[in-house]
Chains A and B, each alone.
Chain A
Amino acid sequence: MKLFAAIYTIAGVIVAVFIFFPIVSVVINAFHAPPALLLSHDTVAAIKLSLITATVSTLIIFILGTPLAYYLARNDSAFSRALDLLLGLEMVLPPAVAGIALLAAFGRTGILGRYLAVFGITLPFTTAAVVIAQTFVALPLYVNPVRAGYASINRNLEGAAFTLGASELYTFLKISFPLARNATLAGAIMSWSRAMGEFGATIMFAGNFVGRTQTMPLAVYSALQVSFNKAMVVAAVLILISFVILIAFGAISKRNSKRSDLNA
C-alpha cells in the first residue's frame, strides 16, 4: 500500500506542476505588462461580451436542457437513444468542425440559412451567432451531469407525490428539480465555462469583431497578432474570472450539500 501511496502522490505532484506553471506564468507575465492594456477599449468590450453571451447561452441551455435531461433520464426509446448519440457526437466534435457545421446549416447560403435570408435574417457576424455557437458546443456539458442527477433520484419520492395527487409538472418542480439541484448547478457551471472558453466555432461562425463578436478567447488570439503582452493580460483576466467562478461554485455546492444532509 505504501508503494501505491508513493505513486499517487508523485502523479499528483507532477500533474499539479504541469497545470500550475503555465497558469501562473500567464499571471506573472500579465503583471509585467503596462496596466493601460487591461483598460483598453477592446479588452473591456471583450470581457463584457463574453460575460453576457456566456450567461445568455447558459440560460438557453438551462431552459432547453433541463426538460431534455429529465426526458433522457426517464425514457429509453429509439428517440432518446438517438438524442443521446447526437449529444455524445456534439461533445467529441472539434469546435472548428462545429463552426463549419453551423455555417453549413445557418450560414448565408446554408441549408436553413438561405431561408432565413429571405426574411432578411443573416446570422453570421452577429452577437446572436456567438450565442448559437456557444449554446451548440456547451449543451452536452449541461445535459450529461443533469441527466445523471435525475437518474439518481429515488423514484419512490416522485411516486409518493403522484399518489398524493400531484401533477407531473408539480412533482417535477417541487420534488425532482430541487433534488437534482446540485447536478443542475454543476451542469450550469460546466456549460458556462465551456461557453466562456469557446473559440473555434465562434470565429468560424460569428467572426471576430470588437464589441460584437469578439469574445475573450478571440481577443486573446487577436491580441497575439499585435503584442504578446496584451494577449497575456487578456488571458490573465480570463483565468481570473474562471477562478472566481470555480470558487463561488465550490462555496454554493458545499452549502447546498449541507442543506440536503439536513433534509435527509
Chain B
Amino acid sequence: MKIRANTEKAWKSGRIVHQRGYINHIMKALIILTLLTIPLLTSGCTTNNKEDSITVLAAASLTEAFQELSHDFEAKYHIKVEPDFAGSNTLAIDIEHGAYADVYASADKKYMTALIKQGYVNKSVAFTRNKLVLVVPKANPANITSVTDLRRNVKLVIANRGVPVGIYTRKALLNLDSIYGNGFSNQVLSHVVSDGIDVKGVLTKVVMDEADAGFVYSSDAVTANGKVKVIELPENGGGVFPKYYIGILTGSKNKKDAQKFINFVLSPEGKKILKKYGFEAEK
C-alpha cells in the first residue's frame, strides 16, 4: 500500500510522467506478443492430422535407417513422414497416454503385443531383425578382443533392464554361461558402471571413450561411423535375434498412407536401406 501511495504521489507530481510512454510501448509489445502466441498454441495441439502426412514412432535403434526410409518414401509418394525416435517402451507409454501417431515400430514383440491387447494396434508384422554385438572405443583402452575379456575389471555399460536391448543383453550373457561356465554372466555384470537409458545411451558412452565396452545392436555399431570397434559374440549374438515389429495405430486418421509406408519398409527398396544400416532380413 505504501508503495502504491508513493507511486501515485510521484505520478501526480509528474515525476514519472516521462516514463509513461516508454512503459506503454513495452505493455503494447507484450500484449501483441501474447495475442500472437494464441494461434501458435492452438495449432500446436492439432498438428499431425493433416491428410498428406504421417507420424511414425520408431525404436531408437531404427533412427538412421528410418530417417533414410522416410526421406526416400517422401520423395517417391510425396507424403510427408514425421518420424519420432525413443526407446520402444517409452513410445508405447506415449501411445497409451494418448500420443497421436499413425505407425509404431517396436524393437521388441512385448510392447507391440501389449498395444495390440489394449486395442491401440490391430495387427503387426515382423519386418527385420537385429543382432547383439559388443562395441569398444576405437582406441580400445582396455584392450578387449573377445567377450571373455569382460571377465577383467573393465568399465562396461549396458542398457537398462526395462528396454529391449537391456533384456537381450542379459539373455545373451546367460546363454554364454553355457560356453564359458556358470558365473560368467554374473562376473561380467559386476563390471557394469552405468545403465544406458536406451541403446543410444550405451553407444554414446563408448563413442565418447568413457566406457571400455558396451552391448548394442549391430545396427547401432554401424551408425557410430567407425568410432567404435565391433566384436561379434559367439553363437551369432549370444543366440539372441531381436525381431522388429511394425503396425498401424487404430487411432490413425490416415491409415491408407500408413499402410503405404509399411509396404515401403517391407519392399526390396526398404530392405536394402535396412541392410545398409546393419539390420538383417527377417527369416
Contacts of A224 in B (CB 8 A): 90, 93, 162
Q: Is A203 an interface residue (CB 8 A)?
A: yes
Query: Within B89-139, which residues are at the interface with A (CB < 8 Å)?
Result: 89-90, 93, 96
Contacts of A228 in B (CB 8 A): 93, 96
Q: Is B196 an interface residue (CB 8 A)?
A: yes
Question: Interface on B for A, CB 8 Å cutoff?
Answer: 87, 89-90, 93, 96, 141, 155, 157, 160-163, 166, 192-198, 201, 205, 208-211
Contacts of B210 in A (CB 8 A): 103, 107-108, 124-125, 207
Contacts of B93 in A (CB 8 A): 224, 228
B162-A209 in contact (CB<8A): no
Known contacts A103-B208, A107-B208, A225-B163; is A208 also within 8 Å of B194 by CB?
A: yes
A109-B163 in contact (CB<8A): no
Known contacts A107-B208, A108-B210, A109-B209; is A225 also within 8 Å of B160 by CB?
A: yes
Closest to B212 in A: A108
A222-B195 in contact (CB<8A): yes
Contacts of A125 in B (CB 8 A): 155, 193-194, 210-211
B90-A225 in contact (CB<8A): yes
Closest to A221 in B: B197
Which listed residue, A103, A209, A221, A225, touches B194 by the CB 8 Å rule? Answer: A209
Q: Is A210 an interface residue (CB 8 A)?
A: yes
A222-B155 in contact (CB<8A): no
Closest to B193 in A: A125
Cα A63 to Cα B197 in complex, Å, equals 34
Contacts of B96 in A (CB 8 A): 228
A203-B208 in contact (CB<8A): no
Cα A30 to Cα B110 in complex, Å, equals 25
Q: Is A58 an interface residue (CB 8 A)?
A: no
Cα A214 to Cα B208 in complex, Å, equals 20
Known contacts A103-B208, A108-B210, A224-B90; is A208 also within 8 Å of B197 by CB?
A: yes
Cα A49 to Cα B166 in complex, Å, equals 24
B160-A222 in contact (CB<8A): yes
Q: What are 28 residue pairs bridging A and B, where the CB atoms are less than 8 Å apart in the complex?
A: A103-B210, A107-B208, A107-B209, A109-B209, A125-B155, A125-B193, A203-B197, A207-B195, A207-B205, A208-B160, A208-B196, A208-B197, A208-B201, A209-B195, A213-B194, A223-B162, A224-B90, A224-B93, A225-B87, A225-B89, A225-B160, A225-B161, A225-B162, A225-B163, A225-B198, A226-B160, A226-B161, A226-B162
Contacts of A108 in B (CB 8 A): 141, 209-210
Closest to B93 in A: A228
